[in-house]
Amino acid sequence: METLEEVLRQIALDLSDLRPGNEFKLYPRQQLIDWWNDGLCLLCSLRPRLFSGSRVVELVDGSEQRIEGCTLISSVREQLNERGEPITLIRRISDSAVQAWLKPPTCRADPNNYRATGYRYDPANRDTFYIDPPKPPGVKAQVSVTCSTCPKALTLDDLNEPLDVSCYQLAMTKHYIYSQAWGMESDQSNLNLAQWHASLWGGFLKGGQVADTGYPKPVQGSAVPGGAIQ
């Protein structure tokens, strides 16, 4: 696994900014790191499923459940017991069933035998879902979810840290950095290179979004190289 410093040196070499004794003169490490953070943040926002993983969360009282640090909830899978073993499958509730689900229950569930059976997404908040039936007070319950979490922003203190990114994430972030770096130049050939990398970014991003079907859908439009992605 490559470190941040190793990747920055690769980028500087591509930008003709790695001359011995004059490394990172045109584009200082801090500038490259800032572009790295911006590119990876945009990629996470527009293709969150690339950053998804499994998490176990404790349910709070009631129906509404919000997961801190989660960019997007892809699914709520199972309720787990205190040993982390699955005890019930949790199914997504269709939009047509929401009205019936919201009706007051005719009988009160036994809080000592609470079982979550369904969930639905919050269309306005991608880090929030609603559990059915609502968790009663005084009961502990945990569920497993598939959640996307954006990487933390890097700094100069992280130069020797390994980068936990896939080849796609690395390539896409590099294209973003190249488009930003060459876009600052006045030479027409460099501006053409900037546009070329911006086009690659936009094309690969749009193709990936087509593969990400189902709810939640990608953000519509963004100020990224290559224009708005629909």
Rounded distance between C-alpha atoms, residue 159 and residue 7, angstroms:
9
CA–CA separation, 31 and 29 (whole Å): 5
Model confidence pLDDT, tens digit, residues 80-128: 999 999 999 999 997 554 544 455 554 555 656 899 999 999 888 889 9
Answer for the pair 154, 8: CB distance below 8 angstroms, yes or no: no
| Cis preceding linkage at 216, omega within 30 | yes
Which pLDDT tens digit goes with each residue over 136-151?
999 999 999 999 999 9
- The torsion angles phi and psi of 174, rounded to 5 degrees, stand at -60, -45
DSSP 49: G
Separation of CA 168 from chain center: 14
Cα–Cα distance, 29 to 25 (Å, whole number): 9
| pTM exceeds 0.75 for this model | no
Q: Is the peptide bond before 133 cis (omega within 30 degrees of 0)?
A: yes
pLDDT digit string (tens) for 29-86?
999 999 999 999 999 988 888 899 999 999 999 999 999 888 889 899 999 999 999 9
SS3 assignment, position 155? coil
